[in-house]
Amino acid sequence: MEGRKLTLRAAHDYDPDVPRLPLGSQRLVVVTGKGGVGKTTVTAALARAAADAGRRVLAVEVGRGSLGTLLGTPQLGGEPTRLAARLAAATIEPEEALRDFVEGVLRFRMLARRLLESTSFQVLAAAAPGLSEFLVLHRLLEWVDARRLGRRAYDLVVVDAPASGHSLPLLAAPRTLGTLARLGPIAEMLAKAERLLADPDATLVCIVTTPEELAVRETVELHRELTERLRLPVAPPIVNAFPPRRFARADIEGLDRLDAALGEHPYLRAARLQLARRGQAETQITALRRALHETPVRLPFVFTAPEEPAGLSALVAELAASAGLAA
């Protein structure tokens, strides 16, 4: 049985027309994209799908957002919270990471707090190039490598990274900082981070977008930056909120006849709106495919809120299918 399943999956691999998320044995998945396209939802769904498939997963959010709500725990902390048998989640607050770092250097919490509150230090923190990115990466790396009882604590760490503009500095940090720090513990950690991020067997970067012009444009730019400049392993883009197909080609004629007869009937208005949005989305996904020469992964628009169990489950199933994650 197992053997046959594997063969089937391998066949799936080579079908050029089937959009596929190349998730194999990677230990780190970084989810990024334009603000508001559903990065956090995709992160939550992917973490769920991988956990359902038997992997031990840690879902991580950078800054405070809605990852906890989506996974059923409103409040995430700086340390991983166990949510299910194989699923944990945590948040990395750059400011908290900075505080931890300063406390580590100064040893006294009181002193650290006074320092952190001083304008001088805030100026300095802004000045030290990539300090906060460094601290976020540092924390991530700890989790990717965390061990418990002699084996890895997590098979997979999925990160809901900051929106495009801010995830670039994060992903570029090992390079930009690496040129400044050549020796010492920081240089070592940066070299390690760079190796991990660039290794296609260890890391996968996913760009999420919606089928809308501005989001698609930003996705193309981000994809180029990540692959050409930073040379990171980037998955085909994930197009979220794709209006589902609701009408067959043959239906259109029937709708036209009804239009002529009935005009403003709400059922027809609904159908027209749906068809128009679907058409727009097709145009945008085609533009995306042409620009990147890759077949995007589609996730359907969810009419019930993704915060509701049914909403997220639909996406979990879709992602499990396209990533070849068998439950």
Partner 1 sequence: MTASLAELLEARRILLCVGSGGVGKTTTAAALAVEAARRGRRTAVLTVDPSHRLKDALGLSTLSDRPRRVPLGSLGARGAHLDAFLLDVKRTFDDLVVALAATPAQAQAILDNRLYQNLSGSLAGTAEYMAVEQVYRLAAEGDYDLLVVDTPPARHAVDFLDAPRRLANLLDSRAFAILKDPTSILPAAGSRLAHMMLSAVLRGLERFTGLGLVREVGEFIGVIESVTGALRERVRAVGALLTSDETAPILVTAPEPRLVAETAALVRGLAGIGLGIDGIVVNRALPRTLFGGAVADPGVPDGVSPALAARLRRCYTELRTLAARQEATLAPLVASANAPVVAEVPLLAADPGSLADLASLARHLFPEAPARAAPASGLGV
In the complex, which residues of this chain contact partner 1 (CB under 8 A)? 34-37, 66, 102, 105-106, 111-112, 114-115, 117-124, 126-129, 163, 177, 180-186, 210, 212-215, 217, 246-248, 251, 254-255, 258, 261-262, 265-277, 280, 303-305, 307
Q: What is the 3-state secondary structure (H, E, C) of 199-219?
A: CCCCEEEEEEECCCHHHHHHH
- Provide the CA 204 distance to its chain's centre, in angstroms: 10
9/182 with CB nearer partner 1? 182
Cβ at position 150, least distance to partner 1 in Å: 31
22/121 with CB nearer partner 1? 121
Is the distance from CB of 311 to CB of 240 less than 8 angstroms? no
Cβ at position 293, least distance to partner 1 in Å: 21
Residue identified by tokens 């996904």 is 285
Cβ at position 270, least distance to partner 1 in Å: 4
25/179 with CB nearer partner 1? 179
What is the side-by-side strand order in the sheet with 297-300?
81-84, 87-92, 57-62, 156-160, 28-33, 203-209, 238-242, 297-300
22/311 with CB nearer partner 1? 311
Cβ at position 89, least distance to partner 1 in Å: 18
295/313 with CB nearer partner 1? 313
6/111 with CB nearer partner 1? 111
